[in-house]
Chain A
Amino acid sequence: MSSGNGTPRDDLKIIGRPRRRVDGRAKVTGQTLFADDLVLPRMLHCKLLRSSLPHARILQIDVSRALAHPGVHLVLTGGDFPIPYGILPVSEDETALCTDVVRFVGDPVAAVVARDEFTAAEAVDLIEVEYETLLTIATPEEALATPEPRIHEHSEKGNIHKLVSLSFGDVDQALKDSYRVFDDTFFYQGNTHLAIEQHATLAAIDPDGKLTVWSSTQTPHYLHRALAKVLETPAAHIRVIACPNGGGFGGKSDPFNHEIVVAGAARILDRPVKICLTREEVFYCHRGRHPVQMSFRTGVDREGNITGMHVRTFLDGGAYGSYGVASTFYTGALQTVTYHVPRYRFQGCRVFTNKPPCGPKRGHGTPQPRFGQEVQLDKIAEALDQDPADLRLRIVEKPDTITANYMTVSTIGLAECIRRVVKRSDWRRKFRQLPEGHGLGLACSSYLSGAGLPIYWNRMPHTGVQLKLDRSGGVTVFCGAIEIGQGSDDVLVACVAEVLGIQPFDIRAVTGDTDLTPVDLGSYSSRVTLMMGNAAIQAAERAREILASAVAAHLKVPRSRLVFADNTVLDSADPDTSVSFQEAVCLAEAASGTVGTVGSYTPPRSAARYKGGGVGPTPTYSYTASVVEVRVDPETGWIDVPRVWIAHDIGRALNPTLVRGQVEGDVYMAVGEALMEEQTFRRLPSRLSPALVHKFPSMLEYKSPTSHDMPEVITDLVEDPDPAGPFGAKEVGQGPLLPVMPAVANAVYDAVGVRVDEIPITPEKILKGLELKRAGRSPRVGPGPFPDIDWPEPLEVPPPWEGGDGKAETPKDVPR
């Protein structure tokens, strides 16, 4: 049996208790309106023509036949949207429709707006594009070796988009002085979000002439900014409404071509225009997990304490910037926050290739290095003849620490997480003691509870909440946060209900609407519960103060004695002296006018002051430990995962039902990544086509776990409230995914003695490893040497214990 185990605090009535989510009824009656469910009178439909070539110059586009097709209202091409955009200000390298060059099969070239989807699709086929093919860069190695033609002019050099080189203390010396140094390379294949809802957008002109865009987006605020820029329209004249997302996982976090195209089309035609992508298009939109090659060079002393670590990562970015610069930094940011690493060097390189762009998927840039780090630790433990759980328990980072790379660790429940999964899984009696083919593996991880910095530089809050209370006793809470299934509306309402002593059902939530709600940066980086929750508490506490003043005057009791609970405001010294919550609002409205409050949240300033130190800091890190059990069939290599034990340091579970769902959903997605999910590409036979296409852009062939593949999950929540979190809560949406992949790899090694140093771990790789083992060779399956990359001189930042202040040293004048 699976089990969540929140421990409610007596004085909290809503928080910490399992409860139906506020939007539960809508979701089980089919009344939740997703973007493609919206229909407006006179609505037209849009289809995109996507490039059939991976890299080519557009010489000419002839749209005349499409325009003449009956039922077609509009055909748009790149020239209609010349202004570039992109999620990160440092890589605004996209246009709504390609203007001169196509960069991957699937890059949108033209758009047709017609009376229905069928007609639009017919007309798309009538558009003729003349291309001049350019050299295709298919792999990251080709990108390194092929500086020209450049896929983007803004890349650092050739087709290298981004190079990062950061050094925290003298790592070479630390490794030299180590008892042992471990050198390993790993590979983590790319995979995609596969949210069941296909991206959809509807745009329309309001009665007053302004533009409204409804979209399946996790980041309406960033979409709002992109629309204002590309359409050259004041943002105040554009309203973006994020519909509840039918799953996001990071895949709906960029401003997308289709969103901008239908917004532009609606404006030109003065009619509503809708688009819904096909599943194949969703695969090509991608923005998913980067394929990453990694090198881990780690020194340890005799006890297994880490003395120094040098991590190199090489990311296949695909055709556009997307979140790639942040993804690159994330592959090096969090290695230091789980175990103490006194000296650390990180070098990362992201290249452009002619494939769909990679971006953020659940865990954003951190599952790949986490896999490498945790598998290497397993090897270190074995080499030192230590139990991998004991080794980790010894080297776990201390609370209230600033790490070598200036990440601030506040509370850390990792040791307790490890103890719990060890106990629950009967690790001590099973590890290295199960029969051949059966194994257990352990791994740990950490994740952010919200990125410390916004995507574009500004000093404003990351989230805002407004509360409206009126004489009806009803409360409306407004926030820009976006419900993507994680339960953000429920967190918002629960925080307000708890503070005001009312029921969640008494509150209406209005969310994700740039006209009506204060800005929230979006549902990404596991930021919503912590940031929005804190803002909601602040707004609700301010409202409680207003009500308390009026009630205190009315009841003639000191304000400090008033308690808000069970829809009443009562005197704690004399519970019979009370007013109902509704009366309290009436008293406040009479005393001081309309009752409304605001709250907001800005993360604390980071200790990292060096360039690149903006990626990784967070108000507080969550921690997770996992033990995975596998059964491996030595005949077929088939891997079963019957059971996963997972313990997550969540600070406090606000609604344990939802928390458990997030943990199990993380485990689910992790098992898919560990065993089967791959976003891979192939060249077509050159005599037929120069195209580079997705191997299997369909939900049947892109394998993901079904109800039959899901292991039993034994969930433990470690609840040690964190001072930074709302009621002590940390994140849960992403962290519990991270330890599962390396734990699977470590369990496979325990089961059959084969090291698979890459993801996914497939039966073929197991069989290859077993073959090597039988031949008396090293039973290791994984990538070869890390590629040769011309790294820049590292930015030198002395760690805190070596006199550093978080800033980089003045660059040495070293000729290169």
Chain B
Amino acid sequence: MKNAHMTLTINGEETEVSFAPYKTLLEVLREDLRLTGTKHGCELGECGACAVLLDGKPVLSCLVLGLECDGREVLTVEGLAEDGRLHPLQETFADMGAAQCGYCTPAILVTARELLDRIPNPSREQVREALSGILCRCTGYHQIFEAVEAAMTCTPLPAAGRARDEPLETEA
């Protein structure tokens, strides 16, 4: 079986990749591009752990063929931080207990980012709905909901070499 070749934009960077044509986007990301931040829990579209943004919309990367992504834009957890600053969602998730084992976290983060891009001030119900396709077995979801909501008003600080032990500065 000959490899497929294509060019797509991953986390804002034009990227060439060569991969076995039967591979899913999940496999291309993890195995051929070594972007292992995107996880898998079933590879059948059931758990939601492999969510990424494809052209800005959340998709389960285990249900998308790599071949479908030619020329398209993919955002993974590795692309959330910008200019050396974590995304506000990453700050609040780390501070507020929204990541326990951290395995579903990348999927939840990119999905929440799409929600905040679309609805800057979502209600609790909208947060629940947006995240309902991703299973988390650790948290019981509440600290995740709260972290998403806190991210609306969080101002991130430079990411590297910093421990944040004090509570987040968020607008009241």
Q: Which residues of A contact B (CB under 8 A)?
A: 2, 14, 18-34, 36-37, 39, 116, 118, 193-198, 244-249, 278-279, 484-487, 503-505, 657-658, 660-661, 664-669, 698-700, 704, 706-708, 710, 712-713
Q: How far is the CA of A603 from the CA of B150 in the complex (A)?
A: 42
Q: Which residues of B contact A (CB under 8 A)?
A: 20, 22, 30-31, 34-44, 46-47, 49, 76-78, 80-81, 86, 89-91, 93-97, 99-106, 109, 127-129, 131-145, 159, 162-165, 167
B138 surroundings in chain A (CB, below 8 A):
247, 485, 661, 665
Q: B36 and A30: CB pair below 8 A?
A: yes
Nearest CB on B from A369, distance (A): 24
The 10 closest A-B CB pairs, nearest first, are A30-B37, A485-B101, A505-B163, A27-B102, A246-B103, A24-B94, A668-B140, A664-B140, A37-B36, A30-B77
Q: Which residue on B lies nearest to A711, using beta carbons?
A: B140
**A21-B94, A28-B93, A486-B100 are contacts. A707–B137 as well, Cβ < 8 Å?**
no
Query: Could you jot down 23 A-B contacts, CB within 8 Å?
Result: A20-B94, A20-B165, A24-B94, A25-B90, A25-B94, A27-B93, A28-B77, A29-B37, A196-B39, A196-B49, A197-B39, A197-B41, A247-B101, A247-B138, A249-B137, A486-B100, A505-B163, A660-B97, A665-B137, A668-B139, A669-B137, A700-B46, A707-B129
Q: How far is the CA of A698 from the CA of B41 in the complex (A)?
A: 10
Q: How far is the CA of A666 from the CA of B100 in the complex (A)?
A: 13
Q: B100 and A704: CB pair below 8 A?
A: no
Q: Which residue on B lies nearest to A668, using beta carbons?
A: B140
| A-B contact sample (7 more), CB < 8 A, given A24-B94, A28-B94, A30-B78 | A28-B109, A118-B22, A196-B41, A197-B41, A657-B96, A669-B137, A699-B47
Q: Which residue on A lies nearest to B109, using beta carbons?
A: A28
Nearest CB on B from A311, distance (A): 30
Q: B101 and A664: CB pair below 8 A?
A: no
Q: Which residue on B lies nearest to A655, using beta carbons?
A: B97
Task: Describe A's contact surface by its main secondary structure.
Answer: loop
Q: How far is the CA of A658 from the CA of B136 in the complex (A)?
A: 16
Q: Which residue on B lies nearest to A195, using beta carbons?
A: B137
Name which of B22, B42, B100, B164 has the most chain A CB atoms within 10 A of its CB.
B100
Q: Which residue on B lies nearest to A485, using beta carbons?
A: B101
**A661-B100, A710-B140 are contacts. A29–B132 as well, Cβ < 8 Å?**
no
Nearest CB on B from A582, distance (A): 17
Q: A665 and B139: CB pair below 8 A?
A: yes
Q: A32 and B41: CB pair below 8 A?
A: no
**A246-B103, A486-B100, A657-B96 are contacts. A664–B39 as well, Cβ < 8 Å?**
no
B46 surroundings in chain A (CB, below 8 A):
279, 698-700
Name which of A22, A27, A36, A707 has the most chain B CB atoms within 10 A of its CB.
A707
Q: B96 and A710: CB pair below 8 A?
A: no
Q: How far is the CA of A18 from the CA of B94 in the complex (A)?
A: 12
Q: A504 and B167: CB pair below 8 A?
A: no
Q: A699 and B39: CB pair below 8 A?
A: no
Q: B20 and A118: CB pair below 8 A?
A: yes
Q: How far is the CA of A486 from the CA of B97 in the complex (A)?
A: 10
Q: How far is the CA of A198 from the CA of B103 in the complex (A)?
A: 10
Q: A244 and B49: CB pair below 8 A?
A: no
B40 surroundings in chain A (CB, below 8 A):
36, 198
- Per a CB cutoff under 8 Å, which of B42, B100, B164 touches A485? B100
Q: B103 and A668: CB pair below 8 A?
A: no
**A29-B78, A247-B101, A664-B142 are contacts. A707–B131 as well, Cβ < 8 Å?**
yes
Q: B101 and A28: CB pair below 8 A?
A: no
A116 surroundings in chain B (CB, below 8 A):
20
- Per a CB cutoff under 8 Å, which of A29, A37, A196, A706 touches B90? A29
Q: B47 and A661: CB pair below 8 A?
A: no
Nearest CB on A from B134, distance (A): 8
Q: Which residue on B lies nearest to A26, using beta carbons?
A: B102
Q: How far is the CA of A666 from the CA of B140 in the complex (A)?
A: 8
A660 surroundings in chain B (CB, below 8 A):
97, 143
Nearest CB on A from B5, distance (A): 18
Q: How far is the CA of A118 from the CA of B27 in the complex (A)?
A: 12
**A24-B94, A246-B39, A708-B128 are contacts. A196–B44 as well, Cβ < 8 Å?**
no
- Per a CB cutoff under 8 Å, which of B20, B22, B86, B140 touches A28? B86
Q: How far is the CA of A118 from the CA of B31 in the complex (A)?
A: 13
B104 surroundings in chain A (CB, below 8 A):
196
**A25-B94, A39-B34, A668-B140 are contacts. A244–B43 as well, Cβ < 8 Å?**
no
